Amino acid sequence: MELTEKEVEEIKNYKPLDEEKYIINYLSDTDIYKVSMTQCLLHKRPNEWAKWKWKLRTKDVHLGYLVDAVNREVDHLCTLRWQPFELNALSKIYYIKSDYVDWLEDFRLKRKYIKITRRGDDLEIEAEGPQLKVTWFEIYVMEIIQELYLRQFEFDFEKAKQNLKEAVDKFNAAIDSGLKFGFADFGARRRHSFAWQDYAVGYMAKHCKCFVGTSNLYFAIKYGVKAIGTFAHEMYALFQGLDDVPIRQSQKAVFDAWTQEYRGDLGIALSDNFGFIPFLRDFDKFYAKLFDGCRHDSGDPIIWGEMLIAHYKSLGIDPTTKTGCWSDSLDVDKAIKIAQHFNGRIKISFGIGTYFMANLVTQTAGIKPLSMVMKVVKVNGKDVVKLSDCPEKNMCESPTYVEYVKDVFDYIPLDQWKGGMVVIKTTH
């Protein structure tokens, strides 16, 4: 992100009044795909209504005691506005349109759309309202909860910094050995803290040979690196609930809306909302040529990569011209193993989040960061589902609807792939 010296100084000199008091102080402290997705929806589907639910995946942890603290943080969050330096930086991103920047200038999160309550020992969070408004809560809420939770522990930050150096050194050695891959920080939502992400992104931008950018817009601006991200599961969820789109066509409807909005830019397609095999049935030659590649977020990473390569070959597309982006629970060793397996067969990229932005810190105290998500569960009053290749990642309020979607998409788990191409079915 190319900024002038004056613009960089403006960023450094801007100090929120409550920076020491609250966790979120910049609306740009979120994933860039919130920007790319909301721009697309503003132009294509501005009037849809969505319900989101927060879910804690970590077992035997109860966070009801945080209810007051989370409410205070969200109260503050809803007072924030996009600052001139943030809007200016966004306007310099080639795919961001001026009408969207104007829309953000007037944007504010509305407190009435989110409820944070306690049920017994547990924390419950629901957000419901216009999708263009409520989608923004997702990343901020998870940043808030993780940081509040981890404050109760003591960590060795000098050891964490050494852990980071060793991880970066290992990546650099892999690059020096001849492996070709890029790595982006995807860690905002489950990070240890704002301060740690600030340090880690700054360090990697300076010292990591394969570091290509961060999904966090604020730190992309601050450190002059690329803001990286396309779209998430919520796009598939939203299009499931549209009255004018049959559910079997909802995946293709996302592809169509996205490619119409970005015209060849932001070309990495998320591949696992209804399972990878149903994704490939819809990802025919037309879309496979339109998109630059696909992102892996569940299921066996090696099987996924082999299937993707086989699929491109079956369509007469050279897989070395396309990108596989792996982003599911990676660490340095897992990423290097994947890179070694696929080196020279497809372009390789990684999105690594919790490992760099939380685990390297929390392991110094012998604990693990929270595993949590916040997902769309209803659109326009209708149930929607994330149907992952890892069943524990599924999320839906209706078990009946899950079974219905499995039938509609002829769902086959990723681990049942027997090799060869995936048969593309044009009808159901």
pTM strictly above 0.95: no
What are the residues facing 395 on neighbouring strands? 386
Whole-angstrom Cα Rg for the chain: 21
Report d(CA 361, CA 196) in Å as an integer. 8
pLDDT tens by residue, the chain, 428 residues: 666 766 666 666 666 555 568 999 999 999 999 999 999 999 999 999 999 999 999 999 999 999 999 999 999 999 999 999 999 999 999 999 999 999 999 999 999 999 999 999 999 999 999 999 999 999 999 999 999 999 999 999 999 999 999 999 999 999 999 999 999 999 999 999 999 999 999 999 999 999 999 999 999 999 999 999 999 999 999 999 999 999 999 999 999 999 999 999 999 999 999 999 999 999 999 999 999 999 999 999 999 999 999 999 999 999 999 999 999 999 999 999 999 999 999 999 999 999 999 999 999 999 999 999 999 999 999 999 998 888 888 889 999 999 999 999 999 888 777 665 555 444 43
pLDDT at 396: 92
pLDDT at 1: 64
Closest CA to 395 of 95, 56, 166, 79: 56
pLDDT at 426: 40
Distance from first CA to last CA of the chain, Å, rounded? 45
pLDDT at 19: 57
Contact 352, 183 (CB under 8 A): yes
Burial 372-409 (b: 16+ CB within 10 A, else e): bbbbbbbbbeebbbbbbbbeebebbeeeebbeebbeeb
Closest CA to 187 of 390, 20, 27, 29: 29
pLDDT at 419: 63
Q: What are phi and psi of 216, to 5 degrees?
A: -80, 115
Alpha-helical (H) ranges within 294-365 are 301-314, 332-342, 354, 360-362
Domains and CATH numbers, the chain: 5-153+370-402 (3.20.140.10), 157-367 (3.20.140.10)
- The per-residue pLDDT for range 171-230, each reduced to its tens digit, is 999 999 999 999 999 999 999 999 999 999 999 999 999 999 999 999 999 999 999 999
* Nearest-5° Cα angle at 95, 94 to 99: 105
pLDDT at 427: 40
Report d(CA 322, CA 301) in Å as an integer. 16
Report d(CA 19, CA 1) in Å as an integer. 24
SS3 category, 375: strand
- The per-residue pLDDT for range 369-399, each reduced to its tens digit, is 999 999 999 999 999 999 888 888 888 999 9
Report d(CA 185, CA 204) in Å as an integer. 9
pLDDT at 255: 98
Report d(CA 5, CA 366) in Å as an integer. 42
